Structure 1
Amino acid sequence: MATKKQIILPIAVLVGGIALAAGFSSMKQPPEEKPEQDTRPLVSTDAVNLDAISLDVKSYGVVKAKDHTQLVAQVSGQVVYVSEQFVQGGFVSQGDILARIDPNDYEAALIEAQAGLAQASADLEIERAQAHVAKAEWDRIKDDSNQIIPSNLYLRKPQLAEKLARYRAAQAAEKRAVRNLERTYIKAPYDAIIAARDISLGSVVNPGSQFGALSSTSIAEIRLPVADKELQYLENGGIGATATLTAEYAGKPTTWQAKIVRSEGVIDQKSRMSYLVAQVNTPYQSKQPLRFGSYINANITGQTLNDAIVVPHHLVKDNKIAVLNDDLTLSFKTLNIVREQNGMVIASAGLNQGQQLITSALEFPTEGMQVKLNDLASPKSATQLALKEE
């Protein structure tokens, strides 16, 4: 049988626990009411600025002379004169004498040819006089009733033809002697820079011996490779377009203006590129000469696209781009993409002037989604942003 103590003790513990729980409950504070949170995504925008955009095409190339000539001896002999300008890198003008082959033998040959021509001329005149005498004699002795025709030999026609042939041969010999004497002079065929010199004073040359090489300084040419799909952005396939050439001169970036004059009309078998040829007149006459052998970058002026916009490629998905409406909702606009280049997209239609282009990356954007504007974002047009990133 339970004692009194065993009955009272559990009751006392139970009552104490209830009292302690009531005390803690009275000390509990009610939860604070939290303000309602705005869960709309935060976005930044740029104003759409439609403008005229030139669809330029970039290329590159090496500057070369339009005309390059190998100087070759046409007569034999010893080189007795070499011009001071006839050195590699020297500039010469058209008609300048670069070197001279010993002319003595050719002067003697000319004198001999002139003497032969004079002798042939005298023989021809004598034969003409004899032919005239023969004809006059026949006219004097012939009878009106005599129908005999004199022979050509009697009238000295074969002899006259022989003398005439010898005279013409002598003329040709003199002309050949004059030409060979002129060929002892090695002259510049045009304004040029000396690319190479292969002879020295005292050298003995024969027909075909190399004297050197010249590069014309009148016109420089650059072959510019262009991808076939890029030709659509150039008027008339690029013919007549202006190309801005950029290279370093004396360690500083320098530009020159060139003109596309022709297309080579074939596709290179290795690079699969088409080649346009640009020309620069008098490349060595400016303060910053466009030197042959220079590697240049070229920007070919393309078609002009009016009311167009340039936007970063990552903002466009499936030809659509997100814009912010006046009621702070997101909507998608379909772009008419003309070109994609260097991470940028050029579009000719799909956006209106002044529309707010969303430039923030959204995880799951949907049509009509509510967003809020980041007021701290600096207002820039999408075109300015694109040009800066480019």
Structure 2
Amino acid sequence: MDANKNKSSFHQLKRRYAALLAVLIIGGTACAALLTLASPAKKTQPQDVQLPLVSSTPLVPIDHQTTLSLSGILKPAEQTDVAFELSGKIAWLNEAFIEGGIINKGDILARLDPFDYHTQLLNKQAELALAQAHLSEQIALADVAKKEWAHSPHVTELALRKPQVASARAQLKAAEAQLAQAEKDLARTQYYAPYDALVTQRDTGLGQVISAGQSLGRLVNLSYAELHVPVAQFERPFLPVLPVPNVKITAENVHRTGTLVRHTGQLSDTTRMAYYVIRVDDPYALHSAMPAVYFGQFLQAQVAGITLKNVLRVPQEWIKNDTFWLTSPQQRLVQYSANILRQEHNYIVLSAPPLSDHQVVTHLPDYPQTGMQVRNNLTHTQLAVKGEKQ
């Protein structure tokens, strides 16, 4: 009985092991089939890194001639208060001798009544004739005395009438001087314009009796004018040696030229600016076909300054916090401190860095960093040609 029970347990255990073995065989076969049917895994390919894109232009140092933009008010360079040196009555006035009138050099502005001075001239002519006659008389008497005293060993100069002759000569010279003075006074009854002039003031009228030195009016010189322009202290080092010719002067559609001639020697109390003077010849265009400019008119001037050697002239937006970016030959970003020399309009002039194999970045990526690898979209922007005047 026990033998049959043990035999039955053995068979059950044997069947369990056989079933487990079958399951393992089937599972292994299925795994092998799956591995065989499955496609081989693709190898992972490294992805290409997209480098930041920049734009740049060649770094080309230039010689740049600076330009100073100045402005000021046109003023008279010279003015004269008109006055006679004599007293008398105004007998005639030039029609142009009114405020705003233009007088040419040598034109008569006014005349005094010449009667008194003409009469004085005739009197001095008569006195001169008497002095000449008196001298002739004394010379004749001296000749007679010389003959009378020819054999006398002791004769005085008085006896020979030498003092009388000398006195007559002196009287003649005095008469000649008085006649010259009378002629001059008669000529001074007419006042001639000393230069081409604009009448800015008249203080007399026809028939008015004036005293010597009394003002008749005021003239300003139209031969040339002066444009007084302030120059900031930081701009003065860029001025060349004076005088500076061919200064371009503009006002609306008017174009003229002038010469920067001098410094006034003064600084403004408020702005501390220095004042310079630009000479403008024939401002009212009396002797040329150029357009006229007028006293009190606001004018702008462009002065050619000194030439800066080995510099860059770049747009202002390329400079940030006094630095700008370059790309090295290895296409890496390089940040460079800018030595800014001056600013002209929307451009910056700075010392060129000693990196001729680098390029100036005109367009940066969003977050630039020194040493960042970039790819360059080289532009064809030309900074300037060496020696070009900007």
TM-score range, shorter chain: 0.7 to 0.9
Q: How does 1:148-227 map to 2 (within 5 A)?
A: 148=154, 150-227=155-232
Deviation per residue, 1:214-260 (Å, 9 max, x gap): 22222222222223432221222x42343211213xxxx32211112
Work out the number of aligned pairs and report it. 338
Deviation per residue, 1:279-307 (Å, 9 max, x gap): 12222223411222212121111122355
1:122 Cα deviation from its structure 2 partner: 0.9
Q: Does 1:240 align with 2:240?
A: no
Distance in 1, matches of 2:203 and 2:60, equals: 63
Aligned to 1:23: none
Aligned to 1:109: 120
2:351 equivalent among 348, 370, 376: 348
1:184 Cα deviation from its structure 2 partner: 0.7
2:244–2:260 contact (8 Å) kept in structure 1: yes
Q: Does 1:133 align with 2:138?
A: no
Q: Bigger radius of gyration, 1 or 2?
A: 2
Aligned to 1:24: none
1:56–1:301 contact (8 Å) kept in structure 2: yes
Aligned AA (2:162): K
Distance in 2, matches of 1:61 and 1:129, equals: 75
Aligned to 1:122: 133
Q: Does 1:277 align with 2:294?
A: no
1:227–1:273 contact (8 Å) kept in structure 2: yes
3-state SS of 1:225 partner: strand
Aligned AA (2:261): V
1:48–1:355 contact (8 Å) kept in structure 2: yes
TM norm structure 2: 0.75
Q: Does 1:59 align with 2:70?
A: yes
In the superposition, relative to structure 1, how do residues 77 and 37 fare at CA in structure 2: closer, same or farther (>3 Å)?
farther
Aligned to 1:25: none
Distance in 2, matches of 1:355 and 1:200, equals: 79
Q: Please, what is the CA RMSD of the aligned residues?
A: 3.2
Aligned to 1:258: 258
Aligned AA (1:124): L
2:139–2:165 contact (8 Å) kept in structure 1: yes
Distance in 1, matches of 2:375 and 2:218, equals: 72
1:274 Cα deviation from its structure 2 partner: 2.8
1:307–1:348 contact (8 Å) kept in structure 2: yes
3-state SS of 1:125 partner: helix
In the superposition, relative to structure 1, how do residues 211 and 353 fare at CA in structure 2: closer, same or farther (>3 Å)?
farther
Greater mean deviation of Cα atoms: 328-337 or 289-298: 328-337
**Any unmatched runs of 5+ in structure 2?**
1-46
Distance in 1, matches of 2:356 and 2:302, equals: 29
Aligned AA (2:164): Q
**Any unmatched runs of 5+ in structure 1?**
1-35, 385-389
Aligned AA (1:169): A
Distance in 2, matches of 1:287 and 1:260, equals: 19
Q: How does 1:17-32 map to 2 (within 5 A)?
A: none
**Share of identical aligned residues, percent?**
32
Distance in 2, matches of 1:326 and 1:353, equals: 10
Aligned to 1:358: 361
In the superposition, relative to structure 1, how do residues 216 and 40 fare at CA in structure 2: closer, same or farther (>3 Å)?
same
2:236 equivalent among 224, 231, 236: 231
3-state SS of 1:86 partner: coil
Aligned AA (1:239): P
In the superposition, relative to structure 1, how do residues 194 and 371 fare at CA in structure 2: closer, same or farther (>3 Å)?
same
In the superposition, relative to structure 1, how do residues 351 and 255 fare at CA in structure 2: closer, same or farther (>3 Å)?
farther
1:101 Cα deviation from its structure 2 partner: 0.8
1:363 Cα deviation from its structure 2 partner: 6.9
3-state SS of 2:178 partner: helix
2:247–2:303 contact (8 Å) kept in structure 1: yes
Greater mean deviation of Cα atoms: 343-352 or 101-110: 343-352
1:48–1:351 contact (8 Å) kept in structure 2: no
Aligned to 1:6: none
